[in-house]
């Protein structure tokens, strides 16, 4: 691999354009190939980026000018595509979640270790100035010792806007596995790994109806819990209260707040890269903290650039497979706890990734 990381995308769906747009402005990442089971979608995306070609998944995996496979397939296909990429000698960056189950994730990470390949995984939103500034504030002692946090993600459901939303309501989907990685990766980054969870869940509606696009009016079944609430016990002792739902029309809730012995931090949406971080200290009022850490101008794909940095320097990627596995384990344990009404121990743990220096750019490391 040279200085530029050559990337091939498998899965030219809705999110692929955001990644490709980021790569187009980075000198350290080059999009060389796009593949999809729908050849037309692959051709449409590749045509927008000079030097990129559309081909079949097998052709992409065999290509000499692909260093990293960016796996943007639906969650149910993550394992098969990632294993095929590893077998072809490629490194892999996977859209979240890492796989649909921890059993599959163990197989993926073991295969990568045997092959000497690196697997990294979204979300990379935690590398932006929002979560990284909050992390720096916690590390500086601005709120004293963190004792608790809250995290809320509520929406009436993705079928209102997505033209093919069925996979959100199949195993590997639902509010926890779809949106949970953004929130839980941020919480683990801020408060450390999770050792025990408890929770409850609901599936209030057995079917959903597509609300937009050419298939509007199509009714499809729901196979997963769509409203999940729980408590996470971090190894640090801090407790996080979590609610994630595809069943709430509107609410006035914070995205993430962290509560400490000396104050409170309020974070922006962890599904974005930046936004105001606010601090409340006793005797004062809410005040916005100036940005003090995180990638500048970050967008979907900065984690792929960070993987390139890791491969060049021989250091772990910040959006690591280990971190993604722990987050997946926490989500799986939370769903198991919700199904049984008991507390579940989380067997895995992880190292907190290295912080992103203030003002760093994904293209200059």
- Res 364: pLDDT: 66
Do both 250 and 224 map to the same domain? yes
Domain span including residue 275: 125-294+328-345
- Res 307: pLDDT: 97
At residue 1, does pLDDT exceed 60? Answer: no
Mean pLDDT to the nearest integer, 139-151: 98
Q: Are 360 and 295 contacting, i.e. CB atoms less than 8 angstroms apart?
A: yes
- Domain of 61, CATH number, reads 3.40.50.720
**Of 99, 121, 143, which residue constitutes the final position of a domain?**
121
Banded pLDDT at 362 (limits 50, 70, 90)? confident
Please, what is the average pLDDT of the chain? 95
Do both 115 and 154 map to the same domain? no
User: Total structural domains in the chain?
Assistant: 2
Do both 141 and 287 map to the same domain? yes
Model confidence pLDDT, tens digit, residues 235-280: 999 999 999 999 999 999 999 999 999 999 999 999 999 999 999 9
164 within a domain of the structure (yes/no): yes
Do both 34 and 148 map to the same domain? no
Question: How many CA atoms lie within 13 Å of 63's alpha carbon, on the beta-carbon side?
Answer: 26
**Of 89, 105, 121, which residue constitutes the final position of a domain?**
121
Model confidence pLDDT, tens digit, residues 169-206: 998 789 999 999 999 999 999 999 999 999 999 999 99
Q: Are 52 and 86 contacting, i.e. CB atoms less than 8 angstroms apart?
A: no
pTM beyond 0.75: yes
Q: What is the DSSP letter of 351?
A: P
**Of 92, 121, 150, which residue constitutes the final position of a domain?**
121
**Coil, helix or strand for 80?**
helix
Model confidence pLDDT, tens digit, residues 56-92: 999 999 999 999 999 999 989 999 999 999 999 999 9
- Domain of 185, CATH number, reads 3.30.360.10
């Amino acid at each position: 691999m040279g200085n530029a990381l050559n990337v091939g995308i498998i899965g030219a769906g809705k999110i692929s354009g955001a990644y490709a747009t980021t790569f187009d402005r980075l000198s350290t990442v080059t999009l060389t190939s796009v593949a999809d089971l729908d050849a037309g979608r692959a051709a449409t995306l590749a045509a927008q980026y000079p030097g990129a070609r559309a081909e079949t998944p097998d052709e992409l995996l065999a290509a000499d000018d692909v260093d990293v496979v960016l796996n943007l397939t639906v969650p149910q296909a993550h394992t098969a595509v990632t294993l095929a990429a590893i077998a072809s000698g490629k490194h892999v960056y996977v859209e979240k979640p890492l796989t649909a189950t921890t059993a599959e994730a163990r197989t993926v990470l073991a295969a990568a270790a045997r092959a000497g390949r690196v697997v990294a995984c979204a979300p990379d939103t935690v590398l932006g100035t929002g979560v990284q500034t909050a992390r720096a504030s916690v590390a500086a002692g601005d709120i004293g010792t963190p004792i608790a946090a809250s995290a809320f993600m509520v929406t009436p459901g993705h079928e209102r806007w997505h033209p093919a939303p069925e996979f959100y309501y199949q195993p590997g989907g639902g509010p926890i596995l779809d949106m949970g990685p953004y929130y839980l990766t941020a919480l683990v980054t801020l408060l450390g790994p999770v050792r025990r969870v408890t929770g409850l869940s609901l599936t209030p509606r057995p079917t959903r109806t597509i609300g937009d696009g050419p298939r509007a009016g199509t009714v499809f079944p729901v196979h997963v819990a769509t409203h999940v609430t729980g408590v996470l016990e971090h190894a640090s002792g801090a407790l996080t209260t979590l609610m994630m739902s595809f069943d709430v029309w509107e609410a006035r809730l914070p995205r993430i707040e962290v509560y400490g012995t000396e104050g409170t931090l309020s974070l922006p949406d962890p599904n974005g890269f930046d936004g105001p971080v606010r601090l409340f200290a006793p005797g004062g009022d809410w005040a916005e903290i100036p940005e003090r850490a995180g990638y500048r101008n970050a967008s979907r794909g900065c984690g792929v650039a960070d993987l390139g940095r890791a491969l060049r320097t021989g250091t772990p990627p910040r959006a690591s497979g280990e971190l993604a596995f722990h987050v997946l384990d926490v989500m799986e344990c939370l769903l198991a706890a919700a199904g049984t009404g008991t507390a579940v121990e989380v067997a895995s743990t992880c190292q907190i990734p290295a912080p992103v220096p203030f003002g760093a750019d994904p293209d200059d490391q």
